[in-house]
Chains A and B, each alone.
Chain A
Amino acid sequence: MATISLRKGNTRLPPEVNRILYVRNLPFNISSEEMYDIFGKYGAIRQIRIGTNKDTRGTAFVVYEDIYDAKTAVDHLSGFNVANRYLIVLYYQ
């Protein structure tokens, strides 16, 4: 019988859960070190894109390697305080 290695429990993940997170309300001058420090705690990061113009500043896309890590990040980081700003962390649809 193939051993089923189900990490982090075998809960079924809702459809909107995915590995790409859309983050808003970031400080405009946040550094790569800070971004990887805040988001890297929850799992391996595949890529981060940060907003650079007046419409996208303060927002970012954070892509995790593993869908469970992305879910953990959303569960923990929504409302996280960075430089007196509360992060908004959503699944990117």
Chain B
Amino acid sequence: CGSLTPNLLRLEKDIEERNCPLADEDLDAILPHEGYRILDPPTSYVPI
């Protein structure tokens, strides 16, 4: 199934691009400031 490889490679690349790490500055550029507050994660929060 050689034809699958290019598609999988393209898909992997697409996902990598859409999953690139978002710095705070990136978020500030995308999300509104006016009328919004950044929530501090609760001390008990453990990312899964």
Instruction: Give residues in A with beta carbon < 8 Å to B.
Output: 4, 6, 10, 12-13, 17-20, 32-33, 35-36, 40-41, 43-53, 55-56, 61, 63, 65-67, 92
Instruction: Kindly count the residue-residue contacts between A and B in the assembled complex, taking CB atoms under 8 Å apart.
Output: 82
- Answer yes or no: B48 CB below 8 A from chain A CBs: yes
A10 touches B18 (CB 8 A): no
- Answer yes or no: B1 CB below 8 A from chain A CBs: no
Interface size class of B (residues with CB under 8 A): 20 to 34
- Chain B, residues 3-42, CB within 8 Å of chain A (1/0): the string is 0000011011011001100101001001110011111111
A61 touches B31 (CB 8 A): yes
A18 touches B18 (CB 8 A): yes
The residue from B15, B35, B47 contacting A40, defined by CB atoms under 8 A apart: B47
Q: How far is the CB of B14 from chain A (nearest CB, A)?
A: 8
The residue from B24, B36, B42 contacting A61, defined by CB atoms under 8 A apart: B36
B36 touches A6 (CB 8 A): no
The residue from B27, B37, B42, B47 contacting A50, defined by CB atoms under 8 A apart: B37
A67 touches B41 (CB 8 A): no
The residue from A19, A50, A92 contacting B39, defined by CB atoms under 8 A apart: A50
